[in-house]
Amino acid sequence: HLVRAIPLKDAEGNIIKWYGTNTDVHDQKELEKQKDNFLGIASHELKTPVTSLKAYAQVMESMFKRSGDFKNADLLGKMNKQVDRLTNLISDLLDVTKINSGRLQFNETEFDFNEMVEEVIEDVQRTSFKHIIHPDLNFKRNIVGDRDRICQVVTNLLTNAVKYSPDANEVIIYTVDHQDSVQVSVRDYGIGISAELQDHVFEQFYRVSGEKEHTFPGLGLGLYISSEIVKRLGGKIWVDSVEGKGSTFCFSIPVNS
C-alpha cells in the first residue's frame, strides 16, 4: 500500500486531522514483476538462436572469401553486422532484467584503464567512417574494477556521440586523473538535448522524440544501463548539453590512489 497524507493543524500547530489517500500498489508491482520476468525469458530465448546464426554467418563469410566470391562475402559481412546489432540489443535487454532483479554481477580485476579506452575508441572508429574520434587521454594508471562493465559505459557514450551527431565529423574523448577518481568525458557537436529533457535521458526506455529529419534507432537502454553501472561503482554520470549545438556526457568513478 502506498500512503500519502497531509496533516490539518489548528492555530497552535497541533495536528487535529489527517487527510490522506491509500493506494493499493500491489497490483502495479506484480505487473512490473511479470513484465521483467517476460523480458528476461524472452531475451534469454532469443540469445541462443542469434548466437548460432552468428557462427554460421561467420563461417560462410570466410568460405566465400577463400573461394574468391567477394560479392557473397560482402553480403555475409553485412549480415554479420546486423546479427551483431541484434546481439547488442538482446544483451541490453538481458542487462536490464538483471539490474531490475538485482542480479547484475561485477567481476573485479586490475587493468590498464588507458588501454581499455583506446580499445573502445578503435572499436567504435572501425564502424564510423564519417567521424574522427580525437583522444585526449590523461589517466595512465591501472585500476581495480570490472573491465567489461566500464568498457560498456565508455562504448555507450562514444557510440551515442557518433549516432547523435549526423552532421558533424568529430567527437572528442577526454580522460582526467583526479587522484581519487577517474573522469571520462565524451564531447560531440550533434543534435544536443534540451535542458528540461537532460535529466530524463538516464531513465529506462527513455528516448527523446523529435520531429527531426533523422530518426535514430535504439531502445533507450544504453544510458540507463550505464548509469546503473556507474552508480554500482560508487561514481556519478551526468550530461551538459545545448540543443542544436552538442552534448558532453561525463562519468567519474572512484579509484584507489
123 is written with which cell numbers?
572499436
Assess contact for 230 and 236: CB atoms under 8 A: yes
Nearer Cβ to ligand ADP (220/254): 220
Tell me which DSSP letter residue 244 carries.
T
Ranges within 120-179 binding ligand ADP (CB under 6 A): 156, 160-161, 164
227 is a contact residue toward ligand ADP (CB under 6 A): no
User: Cα 232 to chain center, whole Å?
Assistant: 14
188 is a contact residue toward ligand ADP (CB under 6 A): yes
Among 47, 98, 207, 232, binds ligand ADP (CB under 6 A): 207
67, 109, 119, 146, 222 from 112: Cα distances, Å: 41, 10, 11, 12, 24
CB of 117 to ligand ADP, least distance (A): 17
**Pick from 57, 91, 49, 87: nearest CA to 75:** 57
At residue 146, what are phi and psi to the nearest 5 degrees? -85, 105
Nearer Cβ to ligand ADP (45/199): 199
Assess contact for 249 and 237: CB atoms under 8 A: yes
Options 7-15, 17-25, 68-76, 190-198: segment touching ligand ADP (CB under 6 A): 190-198
Nearer Cβ to ligand ADP (184/223): 223
Options 25-33, 72-80, 140-148, 202-210: segment touching ligand ADP (CB under 6 A): 202-210
Distance, in Å, from the CA atom of 134 to the CA atom of 120, rounded to the nearest integer, reads: 12
Distance, in Å, from the CA atom of 94 to the CA atom of 63, rounded to the nearest integer, reads: 32
182 is a contact residue toward ligand ADP (CB under 6 A): no
Nearer Cβ to ligand ADP (150/193): 193
CB of 203 to ligand ADP, least distance (A): 8
90 is written with which cell numbers?
538482446
Nearer Cβ to ligand ADP (131/147): 131
113 is a contact residue toward ligand ADP (CB under 6 A): no
CB of 193 to ligand ADP, least distance (A): 5
Residues that bind ligand ADP (CB under 6 A): 156, 160-161, 164, 188, 190-193, 201, 206-208, 218-224, 247
